[in-house]
A = this chain, B = another copy of it.
Amino acid sequence: MNAVIGYQGIPGSFSEEALHRYFPNASETKNFRYFEEVFQRLHDCHIDYGILPIENSNTGMIFEVYDCLQSYNLYIVGETYLQVAHHLLGVPGSSLESIEEVYSHPQGFKQSRRFLRSYDTRWQLIPYHNTAISARYVSEQNDPAKAAIASLRCRDIYGLQVLNDNIHDEAQNFTRFIIIGRQLEYDNSADKLSLVYSLPHRVGSLYTSLGVFAERGINLLGLQSRPIQGRPWEWYFYIDLAGSLDDTHVREALDAMGTLTQDLQVLGCYGARPDRLPLES
């Protein structure tokens, strides 16, 4: 394919890894500094698709991506999963004993808390832009006192060595990525639907809205809420459902939703990765 795919981060980031899994033949990629830039550049036709992490099985949702999904008029056209593994990486010649400073994304620290506790008094943890930028920085500094928490892909790209492998607390750590495009794109293999809506402040309004789907046997795969900017303590509800826009009962449910909420948006209809398992390696 000749599509241009955008992601946030630098080579070696989890997003770039997910990109090459989902688009194994991607001819051109563009990377951006912020999640929102991926949405902006897609909206402005500088890229054809974007790939973004949206939730992690341990740390939960990625706020910014949910918020952008609501505010940009773009669509989810697919999803993919990546298993997250963290490793302590240093420059050649460094060792666990030489390390004084550890760089990573705050999530890298959070997901490696048990391992890091043993070194609590000796190591300074320095929050950095992301795991890949941390690895690149440690490589550039070429200082045996500095280490990064990052992936094996970063070790390869930035010429680092593993000081301690698999330092993450939870072996079962998956990040779900979404692929976004400018058009609603789905075929007859689509079996997952993502929606966002807000609700009036009324007893049971969320319950009633979920009932629209439950009563039709449509399974709820995910539910998240995010505050509405400028309207304190009002929320957008993001729901994922098992079904396709081609299903009669889904279309009926969406019609019924129209009477409950003014601002229902279909965010996408696409193929769910079965059982939320990671892609085969």
Contact = CB atoms under 8 A, between A and B. Distances in A.
Given A203-B214, A207-B207, A225-B224, A232 B276 contact: yes
12 contacts: A56-B227, A58-B229, A58-B232, A60-B63, A60-B225, A172-B230, A172-B231, A172-B232, A207-B214, A208-B214, A223-B223, A232-B276
Contacts of A145: none
A207 to B, nearest CB: 4
Q: Bin the interface of chain A by size.
A: 35 or more
B217 A206 contact: no
A100 B19 CA distance: 35
Contacts of A203: 214, 217-220
Interface of A: 55-60, 63, 106, 127, 169-170, 172-174, 203-204, 206-208, 210-211, 213-214, 217-220, 223-227, 229-233, 276
Given A57-B232, A204-B220, A208-B214, 6 more contacts: A58-B232, A106-B106, A127-B127, A169-B229, A204-B214, A207-B213
Contact of A225 (B57, B169, B174, B223): B223
Given A127-B127, A214-B203, A225-B223, A63 B59 contact: yes
Given A203-B214, A214-B203, A170 B220 contact: no
Q: Which of A58, A207, A225 has the most chain B CB within a 10 Å cutoff?
A: A207
Contacts of A217: 203
Q: Which of A211, A225, A232 has the most chain B CB within a 10 Å cutoff?
A: A232
A60 B203 CA distance: 22
Nearest to A208: B214
A169 B58 CA distance: 30
A247 to B, nearest CB: 15
A195 to B, nearest CB: 15
B170 A230 contact: yes
A141 B204 CA distance: 54
A225 B224 CA distance: 7
Contacts of A60: 63, 225-227
Contacts of A207: 207, 210-211, 213-214, 220
Contacts of A214: 203-204, 207-208
